[in-house]
């Protein structure tokens, strides 16, 4: 039996909920064969859990990319890239891979952390990554940065931002309203380049959603590798992450990761898809 090969170019979240750990667990749950090209290692201060981001040498990143691409990759996801040079290397890797199944998760900040990774990264993402994106999956803050509109606060503002990000080259855009948007449901906006859809699920009251964004984007990536359409891929990803959040748990007193394997064990909460 052969499996679809999925590659994440992402950072390591040592705490295991986000980053390449989330991606690999999610790829596995979707029946794809996961590979990693590691960009940075994120560690946490045991007293207070503030994050520290340590980049790996770029030559080592390049060697990982060359190894993975030589196997023939069916879909690529990008996550935390941290510097403009790493973003450019990731863009070159995507171009070389020849796959159209490219999911750009434009990670600019970790949940609970105020510090943006590197403000110059936004322009590099626009130049090197968005033109390749079959789907990009910004949260509200990231959408505002990419679109240059400031953080959207309403569905109308999300639509305007999604339109701009599409004009920058991303074929489809999902802006994750998540918990931050003042709606009753956990609401994401999906723009396929022609039509807008709202993806809605029940909002989970807990704060145990560390890694939700990575898990969502990794699900989309695996689904594309498995041959789903973009719309099918994002709808299943919303189900997958909603289940993962519903079963989020406390790793310690500081962080609550999602349960990546929740959907297959407990089923998924209902997701509604509405064209708007």
Ligand X SMILES: Nc1ncnc2c1ncn2[C@@H]1O[C@H](COP(=O)(O)OP(=O)(O)O)[C@@H](O)[C@H]1O
Ligand Y SMILES: Cc1ncc(COP(=O)(O)O)c(C=O)c1O
Please give the residue whose beta carbon sits closest to Mg ion in the complex.
Answer: 213
Binders of ligand Y among residues 165 to 224 (CB under 6 A) are 210-214
Q: Quick one: which of 34, 106, 138, 213 contacts Mg ion (CB under 5 A)? A: 213
Which has the closest alpha carbon to 19: 201, 260, 227? 260
Which has the closest alpha carbon to 17: 79, 71, 60? 79
Cβ atoms of 89 and 63 within 8 Å: the answer is no
* Binding residue count for Mg ion, defined by CB under 5 A: 1
Cβ atoms of 33 and 27 within 8 Å: the answer is yes
Binding residues for ligand X (CB under 6 A): 111, 139, 176-179, 186, 188, 201, 203-204, 209, 212-213, 216, 238, 241-242, 245
For residues 108 and 230, which CB has a smaller minimum distance to ligand Y in the complex?
A: 108
Helices (H), 33-108: 58-69, 84-97
Which stretch in 84-92, 107-115, 129-137, 221-229 sits in contact with ligand Y by CB under 6 A? 107-115
| Beta-strand relationship, 5-13 and 75-78 | parallel
Residue 155 has a CB neighbour count (10 Å cut-off) of 17
- Contact between 152 and ligand Y per CB under 6 A: no
For residues 23 and 192, which CB has a smaller minimum distance to ligand Y in the complex?
A: 23
For residues 69 and 165, which CB has a smaller minimum distance to ligand X in the complex?
A: 165
For residues 18 and 73, which CB has a smaller minimum distance to ligand X in the complex?
A: 18
Cβ atoms of 155 and 143 within 8 Å: the answer is no
Angle CA(261)–CA(262)–CA(266) in degrees, nearest 5?
A: 135
Site string for ligand Y, 29-58 (x = CB under 6 A): -------------x----------------
Please give the residue whose beta carbon sits closest to ligand X in the complex.
Answer: 213
Q: Which helix (DSSP H) or strand (DSSP E) does residue 266 occupy?
A: helix 262-266
- Contact between 140 and ligand Y per CB under 6 A: no
User: In whole angstroms, how far apart are CA 81 and each of 29, 117, 118, 128?
Assistant: 24, 9, 10, 12
Binders of ligand Y among residues 70 to 99 (CB under 6 A) are 79-80
Which has the closest alpha carbon to 139: 179, 91, 183, 101? 179
Find which of Mg ion, ligand X, ligand Y, none residue 82 binds, CB within 5 to 8 Å per kind: none
**Interacting residues with Mg ion (CB under 5 A):** 213
Site for ligand Y, rule CB under 6 A: 10-13, 18-19, 42, 79-80, 107, 110-111, 210-214
């Amino acid at each position: 039996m052969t499996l679809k090969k999925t590659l994440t170019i992402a950072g390591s979240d040592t705490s295991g909920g986000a980053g390449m750990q989330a991606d690999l667990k999610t790829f596995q749950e979707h029946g794809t064969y996961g590979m990693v090209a590691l960009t940075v290692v994120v560690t946490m201060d045991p007293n207070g859990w503030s994050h520290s981001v340590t980049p790996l040498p770029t030559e080592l990143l390049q060697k990982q990319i060359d190894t993975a691409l030589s196997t023939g990759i069916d879909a690529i996801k990008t996550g935390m890239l941290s510097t403009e040079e790493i973003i450019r290397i990731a863009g070159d890797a995507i171009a070389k891979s020849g796959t159209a199944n490219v999911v750009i998760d434009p990670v600019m900040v970790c949940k609970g952390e105020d510090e943006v990774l590197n403000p110059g990264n936004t322009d590099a993402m626009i130049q090197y990554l968005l033109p390749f994106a079959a789907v990009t999956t910004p949260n509200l803050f990231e959408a505002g940065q990419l679109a240059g509109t400031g953080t959207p606060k309403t569905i109308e503002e999300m639509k305007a931002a999604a339109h701009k990000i599409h004009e920058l080259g991303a074929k489809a855009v999902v802006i994750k309203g998540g918990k931050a948007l003042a709606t009753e449901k956990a609401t994401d906006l999906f723009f396929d380049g022609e039509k807008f859809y709202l993806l809605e699920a029940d909002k989970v009251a807990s704060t145990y959603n560390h890694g939700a964004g990575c898990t969502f984007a990794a699900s989309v990536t695996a689904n594309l590798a498995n041959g789903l359409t973009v719309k099918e891929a994002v709808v299943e990803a919303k189900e997958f992450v909603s289940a993962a959040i519903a079963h989020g748990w406390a790793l310690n007193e500081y962080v609550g990761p999602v349960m990546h394997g929740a959907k297959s064990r407990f089923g998924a909460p209902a997701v509604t898809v509405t064209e708007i």
